[in-house]
Structure 1
């Protein structure tokens, strides 16, 4: 039986960001890439982390491994909390249980950065979105190519303003740290060594709280290691999912 993998993108981009990964995993894994509400041509009527999470689980082909990048990872993490029977493993890429800094959380974005992003969306939607996404890959190897790739993705399937605003709300409000110790499924956390949004030390802290997690620090990568280290990422994902298949899906 082919192992099942469902992928969620991050804030501002569509599921097409996973096209290269799907191509590399063809024949090894059954890969489903889903759009977030308000992204990839979907409407944004669903709001709130739990509702976004339930929307994901309803659209999954069946129980399997979830892979989420950044905001998508937060939704996948919450799916493991709310629907553990549907999540046989997690791959969290550039993802934190809390994305905003606070008195007891020194990592993530400053609250003011999210506020400024929201204001920028209202004033100049396209430029603000492009600037936010480009900052995520500036420290990556081949950054110029990655910037072009993200820009083309934005032009092809731009997200809606309500979807972007709902996503910012999730990034600002969500705090899944208390849930980590209760997530008893295998987890692969993928941290870019140069990630400015999801610091690798914060991801290491998250891995320490999870009962069955491992951390892969990707050298010279920033927030999008699946783009900058495409082949290594695909191989690591395939190995992780395939290793779960005999134990979780009864392979013979």
Structure 2
């Protein structure tokens, strides 16, 4: 079997297994596909450690990173640390800061995240159900996407410690003024009704990046790449084609 020159590294979000990316692999048969989730990371420091180890094991000359939500934040950190290894980023629900910063209204309030962490210890299922409700737009909910999501991805929940570690990472993550140092081309995708990482926060990130394109899908939520798989695949293809045209 010949060595592939190109690879995708698909990085999942909080509480979601890497299987979420499987439907997309067949669209790029000439690429090597590596998937990464953090459902087994027991400490916050394990999140970046696992991402760095995974990237380090990839032998391809050109690595395209696709990151969603928490995975988008991890992808930004990888691009900062390993600019020569990563050729481009596709980020869904990407933000510069997950938490509110100073007097800024963008981001999650620290009290909300603290309460979420506390509630996880007594009722993981209810916390994740509440989180999932924020993930889908009104139209997506009416079309039954939340029920489908829970049927596919919520039959088995990650461990309490891995969920806590993921929330710790979200709480600590901040790009601050480092965005200008990312030389890698970045393609951002967000839903206009994203209730987890609002489109406003993605636009704020876009202003910090030197080489960026930002796309907003109307009536779409946080998991728009999953509810509109064909459109998502076409978006990536068009971005890749635009780079080489």
Shorter-chain TM band: 0.7 to 0.9
Q: 1:27 aligns with which of 26, 29, 33?
A: 29
Quick check: 156-165 or 215-224, which moved more?
A: 156-165
Aligned to 1:167: 166
Per the TM alignment, residue 66 of structure 1 is displaced from its structure 2 partner at its CA by 0.5
Kindly indicate whether residue 69 of structure 2 is the aligned counterpart of residue 54 of structure 1: no
Structure 1 residues not aligned, in runs of 5+? 248-252
1:224-235 → structure 2 map (5 Å cutoff)? 224-235=223-234
SS in 2 for 1:131: helix
Quick check: 156-165 or 107-116, which moved more?
A: 156-165
TM-score, normalised via structure 2 length: 0.87
Kindly indicate whether residue 86 of structure 2 is the aligned counterpart of residue 87 of structure 1: yes
Between structures 1 and 2, the one with greater helix share: 1
Per the TM alignment, residue 134 of structure 1 is displaced from its structure 2 partner at its CA by 2.9
Aligned to 2:71: 72
SS in 2 for 1:19: helix
Per the TM alignment, residue 84 of structure 1 is displaced from its structure 2 partner at its CA by 1.1
Per the TM alignment, residue 102 of structure 1 is displaced from its structure 2 partner at its CA by 2.3
In 1, Cα distance between the equivalents of 2:154 and 2:221? 23
In 2, Cα distance between the equivalents of 1:58 and 1:2? 15
SS in 1 for 2:215: strand
Q: Alpha carbons of 1:60 and 1:221: their partners in 2 closer, same or farther (altered >3 Å)?
A: farther
In 2, Cα distance between the equivalents of 1:143 and 1:117? 26
Measured on the aligned residues, the alpha-carbon RMSD in Å equals: 2.4
TM-score, normalised via structure 1 length: 0.85
Query: What are the Cα deviations for residues 149-192 of structure 1, in whole angstroms up to 9, with x where unaligned?
Result: 32123344421211111110011111113210010111100011
Q: Alpha carbons of 1:202 and 1:242: their partners in 2 closer, same or farther (altered >3 Å)?
A: same
Aligned to 1:9: 12
Structure 2 residues not aligned, in runs of 5+? none
SS in 2 for 1:235: helix
Per the TM alignment, residue 147 of structure 1 is displaced from its structure 2 partner at its CA by 1.4
Aligned to 2:128: 129
